[in-house]
Amino acid sequence: MSVENAIKYVHWFSRIPHLSSKEKLRLLEIFADEETIFTMKENRLKQHPKVAQRTKEILLAARKDTEWEREYDRFCQSGIRLIAYQDAEYPKRLTHIYNPPYCLYVKGRPLSEERKCFAVVGARACSSYGAAVAKEIGRQLTRAGVDVVSGLAAGIDAAAHAGALEAMTAGRTLDERAPGTMTAEAGPGGGLTGDGLAEVGIPVAVLGCGVDICYPAANRLLYQKLARAGSLVSEFPPGCAPKKYHFPMRNRILSGLSDGVIVVEARERSGSLITADLSLEQGKAVYAVPGRISDSLSRGTNWLLSQGADVFCSVQEFLQEQGILQGENLAEGRKIEIPLEKNERLVYSVLDSTPKHFNFIVEETGLCLPQTAELLLRLRKRGCIQEIYQNYYIKISI
Amino acid sequence: MISTASVHGIASMIIQVEADVSNGMPSFEMVGVLSSEVREAKERIRAAIRNAGYLLPPKRITVNLCPADVRKSGAGFDLPIALAVLCAHGIVPPQKPGHTLFVGEITLNGALRPVRGVLPMALAARQAGIRAFVLPVENAREAAFVKELAVYPAADLSSVIKHLNGQTLPEFTTINIEETASDLSAGVDFSQISGQYTLRRACEIAASGMHNLLMVGPPGAGKTLAAQAIASILPPLNEEEMLELAGIYSVSGLFAERKKQLYRRPFRSPHNSVTKMALLGGGRIPRPGEISLAHKGILFLDELTEFERPLLEQLRQPLEERQIRLVRQAGTYCYPAEFVLVAAMNACGCGNFPDREKCTCTPRQIRQHLGKISRPLLDRVDLTIEVPKVTMADLLSHSENESSEQIRQRVIRAHEIQRKRFAGFKISCNSRMRAEFLRRFCPMSEGARKCLAEAYEELDLSARAYHRLIRVARTIADLDACEEILERHMTEALLYRSMDEAAYRSGV
């Protein structure tokens, strides 16, 4: 039988419900491959001594199913790839975790194991500060050549993906500016650019549903960009709807794929802490971004810190600690001092990382309304501040 | 032949009433497409005439109201029908058609009760060349707006009979509109609102250019108070507008509400349980709805997200056309509805967003909450502001706030500039400018143009949002008495840009 055919049966086997990844992998130890299970005589399967009665029933029922083959053809055509446990492309990191996924469905770029890989996770209902931090982490890690993994949820996840994608596109424009300095195949994430810039990382999203489904729907734009420039990964077959219990399962892959987890904002007893726990179980680093003790959104991260998690104070330090950067300075335009005139500095000094309303700025600075509006616009254009919602501003810098 | 008038929409039409007495079976017949309240008039009239001291002989009475093809409704026909009957019996002398207009509802004992729509009737009478108007005492004030009419208020039927027999009623002359009507106070003053710089300023701009305004913020931020205060900074109505508005209130039977403050622009704030009929105008013979009662003034919709969505969608057309056309079987009724929409809402279900410490809503809930307001409606709102919670410092501050009176002076100046600018055009204020007007009346400095171009790129604005920004900047420049839109006007206009999805929801 051709290899192509064999992988078809992997899909059939993967979509069998009520069998865990672990049970599936065990069955593969008993039988040679999935095709054998599908094609062997019914009586032989029924009388097999090593298989439990329940499993036999499930397998026999699944063999009667006819939909899977068409399903397989359909998703293959739409560019989704299936990676079986035995495949070379299957991430080695995942084989080391407890209960590795039986197979992976990937949309977008293939997963790489050469680069470092970190997960950035956090609350869905995050603060604007948290979102800004996550975005900055996503951006800078990607620029430093780290693959940023997250879960495509709202809030921190989305911000981390957005930052990573931004760094990628910035990398691409650099490439375009210097044509001929690199080979045509080496896009972002491949080789060194002519400017001597290290390769950028690739954003990876691990989903709790089929990779052809965008959940939550609000992240559609992000989803499309990730499918083009990054990778979407899931152990659930295409078409599989998101279920509540999928997400803790997704989290084990999320931490399994990465060298460590960075928790940006988390409430007490939240899902992000589960990911951190899994990461510890898998023997990986856990970083937490410290927060004010009064913020409920920092309770979880501060708790992690008190339990011995590494503190994430700046991207620079983190990269040095992880040996990604050796003492050298990260090429960074943001930190350069921008000369500000007196009033601009006055307005700038009033702001910090929590959103401040326009009225607050007027009150603190004592400037008149039109003048403040003008100064804020000027600062915004220079990239010093950001209007996070209408009439609310924050300082940009980490 | 007795002249009277019926109301159709906010217009009125002269109706003639005639009666005939003949031998035959005693009866009282009325013809001429009458609604039930007009038909019931015969019982009231019979009793009223007897109680006025006249005995009608048992004969066949036929009353005709013409033109016969117009449906007559309303209680104002009691008096003219009674007079026509008395005329036919020779109790009052025959009336020259088109000399005097009679309107009034009659009670069983002969007293006259007020009716709706007297002002449009008086205007119609003037057009028809009628010189005198006999009507219930309570309505005298409305009719007296029409200076060409001699207004005779009457208390009961017998005084009208005496009037026609030579014992003339005293004419109503004590009309001095200025003394009471020039009062513009709204009960709420801007001096009561502390801090909230953007809110105060946005209200001023909204009043100056008659821009629609949306306030988004947590409960207790002062949104409702500010909306009420806007009414206090609007310029007074001019003569023509005042009459038009008085007419709308007259046909709605609400004239008494406006009697004290005729020149003040109306402020209507229907509760969010309002029905379609009440908001837009309705009924088999439609009466003006809240949007028409807010004509030339403010329609305030508090808790915008709590209004039924289809209801809000139906506001779109009146917001564009500045009037509402209600089509019914009995005809088409067109009511003016040139109002400024002022709306207030919370940013999320619990009201505390963007304060993440307090807000317990999920991003999805917030999106759903904001999604209750449709894009097309938001597109028609020129000014949107986030209203933050009032700070402790604001509450404690003793600094003098600017009063409505002071703000109103600036608003009036801005209106004056606009009136001059649009003289000879159909529009009267900046918010009504269409694209071709924008090119013509909004010269921009190089800085402003650059600022706008950059914002267009950066914020990914739609063409509509682009035009909105120019309109608002135009008003800000007018407040500054500046012919050209300068950069500072444009930067300020950017503060009040619409709740565009990308920018607003990025933080969600």
Q: What is the pLDDT of residue B273?
A: 93
In a domain, B466, yes or no: no
Query: Do A137 and A176 belong together in one domain?
Result: yes
Query: Do B124 and B159 belong together in one domain?
Result: yes
Token pair in block for residue A266: 């988390």
Subunit contact A391:B495, Cβ cutoff 8 A: yes
Q: What is the pLDDT of residue A202?
A: 92
Q: What is the pLDDT of residue A249?
A: 92
Domain limits for position A379: 342-395
In a domain, B274, yes or no: yes
Which B-chain residues 288-317 have CB contacts (< 8 A) with chain A? none
Chain B residues lying within 8 Å of A126, measured CB to CB:
356
Q: Which band of pLDDT confidence, cut at 50, 70 and 90, is reported for residue A299? A: very high
Q: What is the pLDDT of residue B361?
A: 80
Q: What is the pLDDT of residue A395?
A: 83
- Could you give the 3-state DSSP secondary structure of residue B354? coil
Query: Which residue of A lies nearest to B388 if distances are taken between CA atoms?
Result: A357
User: What is the phi-psi region of residue A272: left when phi exceeds 0, alpha when psi lies from -120 to 50, beta otherwise?
Assistant: alpha
Token pair in block for residue B401: 């706030």
**Section A63-75 average pLDDT:** 88
B348 versus A173: which is more confidently predicted? B348
Chain A residues lying within 8 Å of B497, measured CB to CB:
390
Query: Do A183 and A250 belong together in one domain?
Result: yes
**Domain boundary residue among B402, B429, B456?**
B429
In a domain, A97, yes or no: no
Query: Do B271 and B380 belong together in one domain?
Result: yes
Element (H, E) at A95: helix A92-95
Chain B residues lying within 8 Å of A388, measured CB to CB:
354, 506-507
- Could you give the 3-state DSSP secondary structure of residue B126? helix
**Section B199-228 average pLDDT:** 92
Q: What is the pLDDT of residue B151?
A: 92
Which among A143, A91, A103 is positioned nearest to A21, based on CA atoms?
A: A103
Q: Which band of pLDDT confidence, cut at 50, 70 and 90, is reported for residue A305? A: very high
CA B450 to chain A, closest CA, distance in angstroms equals 12
Subunit contact B364:A355, Cβ cutoff 8 A: no
Whether the link from the prior residue into A179 is cis, omega within 30° of 0, is: no
**Other Cβ atoms within 10 Å of B458 Cβ, number:** 12
Question: What percent of chain A clears pLDDT 70, i.e. is strictly above it?
Answer: 88
Q: What is the pLDDT of residue A197?
A: 47
**Section B456-468 average pLDDT:** 82
A262 versus B144: which is more confidently predicted? A262
Average pLDDT, chain B: 88
Q: What is the pLDDT of residue B503?
A: 44
Task: Provide CB contacts within 8 A for A317, sequence distance 6+.
Answer: none
Subunit contact A359:B196, Cβ cutoff 8 A: yes
- Could you give the 3-state DSSP secondary structure of residue A382? coil
Query: Do A135 and A11 belong together in one domain?
Result: no
pLDDT reading at B32 higher than 60: yes
**Domain boundary residue among B400, B429, B458?**
B429
Q: Do the Cβ atoms of A271 and A248 come closer than 8 Å?
A: yes
Query: Do B137 and B228 belong together in one domain?
Result: no
Q: What is the pLDDT of residue A182?
A: 37
Q: What is the pLDDT of residue A178?
A: 40
Chain B residues lying within 8 Å of A358, measured CB to CB:
197-198, 386, 495
Total of domains in chain B: 2
Chain B residues lying within 8 Å of A343, measured CB to CB:
none
Query: Do B154 and B219 belong together in one domain?
Result: no
Q: Cα(B179)–Cα(B363) distance, rounded to whole angstroms? A: 56
Whether the link from the prior residue into B67 is cis, omega within 30° of 0, is: yes
C-alpha distances in angstroms, B105 versus A227, B10, B102, B156, B284?
A: 77, 20, 10, 10, 22
Q: What is the pLDDT of residue B448?
A: 92
Per-residue 3-state assignment (H helix, E strand, C coil) for B373-399: CCHHHHHCCCEEEECCCCCHHHHHCCC
Q: Cα(A74)–Cα(A67) distance, rounded to whole angstroms? A: 11
Total of domains in chain A: 3
* Highest mean pLDDT of the ranges A65-69, A328-332, B495-499: A65-69
Query: Which residue of B lies nearest to A265 if distances are taken between CA atoms?
Result: B356
Q: What is the pLDDT of residue A180?
A: 38
* Highest mean pLDDT of the ranges A24-28, A121-125, B339-343: B339-343
**Interchain CB contact of B436 with A (< 8 Å):** no
Query: Do B247 and B284 belong together in one domain?
Result: yes
Q: Cα(B78)–Cα(B90) distance, rounded to whole angstroms? A: 18
Query: Which residue of B lies nearest to A126 if distances are taken between CA atoms?
Result: B356
Chain A residues lying within 8 Å of B216, measured CB to CB:
390
In a domain, B324, yes or no: yes
pLDDT reading at B441 higher than 80: yes
pLDDT reading at B175 higher than 70: no
Query: Do A3 and A57 belong together in one domain?
Result: yes
Q: What is the pLDDT of residue A333?
A: 46
Query: Do B345 and B212 belong together in one domain?
Result: yes
- Which of A250-264, B190-204, B252-266, B278-292 bottoms out in mean pLDDT, i.e. has the lowest? B252-266
**Interchain CB contact of B362 with A (< 8 Å):** yes
- Nearest neighbour of B507 by CB, restricted to A131, A357, A358: A131
In a domain, A94, yes or no: no
pLDDT reading at B349 higher than 80: yes
Query: Do B378 and B284 belong together in one domain?
Result: yes
CATH label of the domain that carries residue A192: 3.40.50.450
Q: Which band of pLDDT confidence, cut at 50, 70 and 90, is reported for residue B398? A: low
Query: Do B306 and B407 belong together in one domain?
Result: yes
B119 versus B392: which is more confidently predicted? B119
Query: Do B329 and B209 belong together in one domain?
Result: yes
In a domain, B108, yes or no: yes
Query: Do A221 and A303 belong together in one domain?
Result: yes
Specify burial of residue A338 (Cβ count, 10 A radius: 0-12, 13-18, 19+): exposed
pLDDT reading at A184 higher than 60: no
Subunit contact B499:A297, Cβ cutoff 8 A: no
CATH label of the domain that carries residue B7: 3.30.230.10
Query: Do A382 and A314 belong together in one domain?
Result: no
B340 versus B360: which is more confidently predicted? B340
Query: Do B261 and B391 belong together in one domain?
Result: yes
Average pLDDT, chain A: 84
pLDDT reading at A205 higher than 80: yes
CA A127 to chain B, closest CA, distance in angstroms equals 6
**Domain boundary residue among A311, A334, A357?**
A334
What b/e sequence results for A46-75 when a residue is b if at least 16 CB atoms lie within 10 Å of its CB, and e otherwise?
eebeebeeebeebbeebbeeeebeebbeeb
- Which of A288-292, A339-343, B69-73, B152-156 bottoms out in mean pLDDT, i.e. has the lowest? A339-343
- Which of A236-245, B277-286, B322-331, B352-361 bottoms out in mean pLDDT, i.e. has the lowest? B352-361
Apex CA B456: angle with CA A161 and CA B425, to 5°?
A: 150
Question: What percent of chain B clears pLDDT 90, i.e. is strictly above it?
Answer: 51
pLDDT reading at B238 higher than 90: no
- Which of A24-33, A106-115, B192-201, B390-399 bottoms out in mean pLDDT, i.e. has the lowest? B390-399
Query: Do A59 and A192 belong together in one domain?
Result: no
pLDDT reading at A190 higher than 50: no
In a domain, B467, yes or no: no
Which A-chain residues 350-389 have CB contacts (< 8 A) with chain B? 355, 357-360, 362-363, 369-371, 373-374, 377, 381, 387-389
Q: What is the pLDDT of residue B427?
A: 87
DSSP secondary structure letters along B449-472: HHHHHHHHHHTT--HHHHHHHHHH
Query: Do B278 and B399 belong together in one domain?
Result: yes
Subunit contact A391:B504, Cβ cutoff 8 A: no
Q: What is the pLDDT of residue A2?
A: 56
Q: What is the pLDDT of residue B473?
A: 95
- Which of A103-107, A224-228, A367-371 bottoms out in mean pLDDT, i.e. has the lowest? A367-371
Q: What is the pLDDT of residue A338?
A: 67
State pLDDT tens for residues B102-153.
999 999 999 999 999 999 999 999 999 999 999 999 898 888 888 888 999 9
Q: Which band of pLDDT confidence, cut at 50, 70 and 90, is reported for residue A189? A: very low
Domain limits for position B155: 2-164
A61 versus B394: which is more confidently predicted? A61
pLDDT reading at A174 higher than 80: no
Token pair in block for residue B190: 């801007």
Subunit contact B354:A387, Cβ cutoff 8 A: no
Length of chain B in residues, anyone? 508
In a domain, A299, yes or no: yes
**Section B430-434 average pLDDT:** 90
State pLDDT tens for residues A100-123.
999 999 999 998 888 899 999 999
**Domain boundary residue among B429, B460, B484?**
B429
Q: Cα(B334)–Cα(A58) distance, rounded to whole angstroms? A: 71
In a domain, B179, yes or no: no
CA B256 to chain A, closest CA, distance in angstroms equals 41
**Domain boundary residue among A318, A334, A350?**
A334
* Highest mean pLDDT of the ranges A58-67, A137-146, B390-399: A137-146
Query: Do B153 and B201 belong together in one domain?
Result: no
In a domain, B74, yes or no: yes
pLDDT reading at B63 higher than 90: yes
In a domain, B345, yes or no: yes
pLDDT reading at B500 higher than 80: no
Query: Do A156 and A278 belong together in one domain?
Result: yes
CATH label of the domain that carries residue B241: 3.40.50.300
Query: Do A188 and A326 belong together in one domain?
Result: yes
Q: Cα(B254)–Cα(B246) distance, rounded to whole angstroms? A: 9
Q: Which band of pLDDT confidence, cut at 50, 70 and 90, is reported for residue A290? A: very high
**Section A143-165 average pLDDT:** 93
Q: Is pTM beyond 0.90 here?
A: no
